[in-house]
C-alpha cells in the first residue's frame, strides 16, 4: 500500500480509502489507484482487514488429518458433510474456508479465528483430544464439532445418535439369526466407541453376552481391515455377521471376505454405517445406519451462529435410522 501511495503521490490513508471505494476520494484518483494496484498485483489481506474493521463473514470448516488412518477429503462421508455445510452457509450468506489440521493438535484449529481469517469454526470430528477442545472453549473460541456428546464437555457438538445406531444395526443382525456378530472400528474415537457401546447393548437386550474376541479395534485403513480379517480366519475365530463402523469399512470387508471364499449375505451378514450414496449401488446393496447428513449441516451452522449471537453453547443429537438392504439378507428398506 505504501508503494501505491508513493507512485500515486497520495497518502497511505488515501490509498486505503480508495481501495475500499470511499466517496471521500474522487473518482479520478480512485481509478488511478485501482490501476496501480492491479499493475502491482496488490490484493487486500482479508484477515487483517477483518481484524481492523471488526467484522467477518467467513466460517472455517476444518477436517483434521490423521497420518495413521490417512482419511482424505475424498472420503465420501466427508464430502457429503462438507457439501451439507456449504449449502447451509450459502443460504445464510456466509463464505466457507475449508482447511485441515493435525488430528493430534486440534487446538491449532483456533488459529483461523485468532488471526481473523474466520469468524467461527466447524470442526469435523473430535478424534482423541476432547481436552484440547475443552481448552479452546475456555479461550472463548466460537466453534462447534461434528461428533459425540461426552462427559465434562465445555463445547457444543452436533452428531448422530451413535449408541442408538449401533444398537439398531446389531439388533437387526441378531434378529436375522446371527449369534456371533463381529464389530470392526477404532473404539478409541468417541463416535465409534459409542457405536460399539450400541453393539454391546443390543446383545444385552437379546439376553446374550457379546464375545470380547469379536470386538476388533481397526482404523479406517484398507490394509489393516484386510489383515484383521485374515488374522481372524487364521486363528479360527468364527463369526456369522459383521457390523462395521463405516460404509467404506463394510465394503472393504465384503471384498476381503469374497477373496477368501466367504459369501455375503449367505455366510456372513453385513451392516455398515453412514449410508453414503455408494451404499445403495454396491454389490450386494449395503444395509447401513443412515446418518442425517442433510440436517447435520443446518444444525452445525445454526449452533455456531447462535454462539456468535451471544447464546449459550448447546449440543444437538440427531436421529439415526436403519436402512435394510441385501447385504444383511433382506431386500427391503426399514
User: Each residue of 289-306: pLDDT tens digit?
Assistant: 999 998 999 999 999 999
* Residue 72 pLDDT: 67
Q: How confident is the model at residue 332 (pLDDT cuts 50, 70, 90)?
A: very low
pTM above 0.85, yes or no: no
Per the listing, cell 449395503 goes with: 286
Among 132-141, 285-294, 297-306, 323-332, the minimum mean pLDDT is found in 323-332
The b-or-e profile of 173-201 (16+ CB within 10 A means b, else e) is: bbebebebbbbbbbbebbbbbbbbebbbb
Q: Mean pLDDT throughout 224-237?
A: 94
Looking at the DSSP bridge assignments, the partners of residue 95 are 58
Q: How confident is the model at residue 331 (pLDDT cuts 50, 70, 90)?
A: very low
Query: Is the predicted pLDDT of residue 158 greater than 60, yes or no?
Result: yes
* Residue 71 pLDDT: 62
Q: Mean pLDDT throughout 81-87?
A: 96
> Quick count: other Cβ atoms within 10 Å of Cβ 111?
15
Classify domain 58-159+294-316 at the CATH class level. Answer: alpha beta
Q: How far is CA 264 from CA 44, 120, 222, 225, 268, in A?
A: 57, 45, 18, 17, 5
* Assigned CATH for 162-292+322-328: 3.40.50.2300
Q: How confident is the model at residue 51 (pLDDT cuts 50, 70, 90)?
A: very low
Question: When comparing pLDDT for 229 and 103, which is higher?
Answer: 229
Q: Is 206 left (phi over 0), alpha (psi -120 to 50) or beta?
A: alpha
Query: Is the predicted pLDDT of residue 122 greater than 60, yes or no?
Result: yes
CATH 3.40.50.2300 intervals, the chain: 58-159+294-316, 162-292+322-328
Amino acid at each position: 500500500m505504501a508503494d501505491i501511495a508513493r507512485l500515486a503521490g497520495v497518502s497511505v490513508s488515501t490509498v486505503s480509502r480508495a481501495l475500499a471505494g470511499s466517496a471521500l476520494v474522487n473518482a479520478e484518483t480512485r481509478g488511478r489507484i485501482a490501476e496501480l494496484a492491479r499493475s502491482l498485483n496488490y490484493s487486500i489481506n482479508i484477515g487483517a482487514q477483518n481484524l481492523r474493521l471488526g467484522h467477518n463473514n467467513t466460517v472455517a470448516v476444518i477436517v483434521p488429518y490423521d497420518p495413521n488412518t490417512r482419511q482424505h477429503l475424498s472420503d465420501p462421508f466427508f464430502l457429503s458433510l462438507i457439501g451439507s455445510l456449504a449449502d447451509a452457509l450459502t443460504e445464510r450468506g456466509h463464505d466457507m474456508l475449508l482447511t485441515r489440521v493435525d488430528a493430534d493438535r486440534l487446538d491449532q484449529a483456533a488459529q483461523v479465528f485468532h488471526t481473523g481469517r474466520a469468524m467461527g469454526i466447524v470442526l469435523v470430528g473430535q478424534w482423541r483430544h476432547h481436552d484440547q477442545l475443552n481448552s479452546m472453549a475456555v479461550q472463548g473460541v466460537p466453534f462447534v464439532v461434528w461428533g459425540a456428546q461426552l462427559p465434562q464437555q465445555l463445547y457444543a457438538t452436533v452428531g448422530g445418535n451413535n449408541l442408538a445406531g449401533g444398537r439398531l444395526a446389531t439388533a437387526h443382525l441378531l434378529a436375522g439369526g446371527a449369534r456371533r456378530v463381529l464389530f470392526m472400528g477404532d473404539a478409541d474415537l468417541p463416535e465409534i466407541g459409542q457405536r460399539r457401546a450400541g453393539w454391546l447393548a443390543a446383545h444385552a437386550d437379546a439376553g446374550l453376552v457379546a464375545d470380547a474376541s469379536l470386538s476388533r479395534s481397526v482404523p479406517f485403513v484398507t490394509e489393516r481391515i484386510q489383515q484383521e480379517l485374515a488374522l481372524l480366519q487364521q486363528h479360527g475365530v468364527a463369526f456369522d455377521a459383521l457390523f462395521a463402523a463405516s460404509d467404506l469399512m463394510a465394503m472393504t470387508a465384503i471384498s476381503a471376505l469374497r477373496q477368501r471364499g466367504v459369501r455375503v449375505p449367505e455366510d456372513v451378514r453385513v451392516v455398515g454405517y453412514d449410508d453414503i450414496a455408494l451404499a445403495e449401488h454396491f454389490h450386494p446393496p449395503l444395509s447401513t445406519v443412515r446418518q442425517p447428513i442433510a440436517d447435520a449441516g443446518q444444525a452445525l451452522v445454526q449452533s455456531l451462529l447462535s454462539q456468535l449471537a451471544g447464546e449459550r453453547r448447546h449440543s444437538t443429537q440427531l436421529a439415526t435410522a436403519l436402512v435394510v438392504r441385501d447385504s444383511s439378507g433382506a431386500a427391503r428398506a426399514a
